[in-house]
Structure 1
Amino acid sequence: MVVGLFTSAQIAEGVGDQIKQLQALASDPAVAEQIKGLMADRGNLMGVHKAIGVVVFGLVVLRLVARLAIGVPEPVSGSPILGLLAKAAHGLLYVLLIVMPASGFLMSMYAGRGVDLLGIPPLLEKNIELAKQFGAIHGLTMNVILLVVLFHAAAALWHHYVQKDETLGRMVPWLRRA
């Protein structure tokens, strides 16, 4: 099947390696940001947290554009229900990775703060009530992301060790089976 510029087979065989690297660039800092966000006080770490959040948002948008342009490989194996669950989990992760930095950005803007490290001034009229609402969304989104990432990791390990298929090997090239 042809998907975007490449066939599904080409993507599965490695044409998508750059896309996987882009995904790692977006997801690894996002996870690190959540850990740092839990520990950040109102000092310098918060400025770094905000700046990295803006960068992660940009990387996620690039990843989505690449995913739409190139497509995704066909599932290795499994039932249609598992395929549907995988698509739903991936879709949910993308939504959450957009909502997370967007809600943090809006929380900051409505609190009358910009993103100092990137030189972004407060762009919206200060509204503490809206800042609190976006703060609640930001916190809830973090918790849901952590749950979905745990589910995603468990599913990948299940594929690798129980199903013994190439799903994890396609995501992590050094785990490919011979």
Structure 2
Amino acid sequence: MSKTKYHPASIFFHWFVFVLVIAAFVAIELKGQFPKGSEPRELCKTVHGVIGQLIFLVMALRLIVRLTYGAPKPTNPKPFLASLATAMHWLLYAILLISPIFGLLYFQYGGKEIHFFGLVWPQFVTPNPEMKKLVEGIHEFLGNSLYFLIGIHALAGLWQHYVIRDDTLRRMLNKVCAQTKAGVMNK
């Protein structure tokens, strides 16, 4: 019998990452409203950094859950679209894991300590203004890519739900009744 539902932990981590990414975007966009060097601007950067670290940890857990419990096959029978959906998911996973690493490197190349709920990360790199600028550019590119990819991901889910009328979105909301081979509905 093929898997028809996401594991509850996968669903939780999906929506938790969604909330964290929105919070990270809000914090970094809000930063631009304050003058450079001001306390509110620095607070926005700190909040963004802490949220980025949380995203990394939650994404690592999400990946472990996915590798342990798997994921249901895409519901679209067209192999090209199913392959595209799989590639999109792995690209999102990669960026959501890599972007926080570049954020950490940005702070460390800038010579700043990184705090995470009372802990201080060890210094992995030597402060270097040129590398800080390069890493900042990569981190911003990855963040801007997320805006685009998350938009496509959401539109694809809505398209499958409202146009194709399959159970893709319902599976991620844990509201699916999958049909077995015998035609009996399971919850």
Name 2:69's counterpart in structure 1.
70
Counterpart of 1:125 in structure 2: which amino acid?
T
Paired with 1:99 and 1:171, the residues of 2 have a C-alpha distance of 24
Name 1:48's counterpart in structure 2.
47
Q: Which runs of 5+ in 1 are unaligned?
A: 2-6
Verify the 8 A CA contact 2:74 2:85 in the aligned structure 1. Answer: no
Q: Once superposed, which parts of structure 1, at least 4 consecutive aligned residues long, lie more than 3 Å away?
A: 116-119, 173-178
How do 1:20-169 and structure 2 match up within 5 A? 20-40=11-31, 42-116=41-115, 118=117, 119-120=119-120, 123=123, 124-169=125-170
Instruction: Compute the TM-score of the two structures, normalised by the length of structure 1.
Output: 0.86
Counterpart of 2:163 in structure 1: which amino acid?
V
How big is the alpha-carbon RMSD for the aligned residues of Structure 1 and Structure 2? 2.1
Q: Which runs of 5+ in 2 are unaligned?
A: 35-40, 179-184
Larger Rg: 2
Verify the 8 A CA contact 2:95 2:142 in the aligned structure 1. Answer: yes
User: Percent identity, aligned pairs only?
Assistant: 30
Q: Which structure has more helix as a fraction of its residues?
A: 1
Judge which range, 44-53 or 131-140, deviates more.
Answer: 44-53
1:8 aligns with 2:26: no
Verify the 8 A CA contact 2:95 2:146 in the aligned structure 1. Answer: yes
Verify the 8 A CA contact 2:53 2:100 in the aligned structure 1. Answer: yes
**Matched positions, count:** 169
Verify the 8 A CA contact 1:100 1:141 in the aligned structure 2. Answer: yes
Paired with 1:159 and 1:121, the residues of 2 have a C-alpha distance of 42
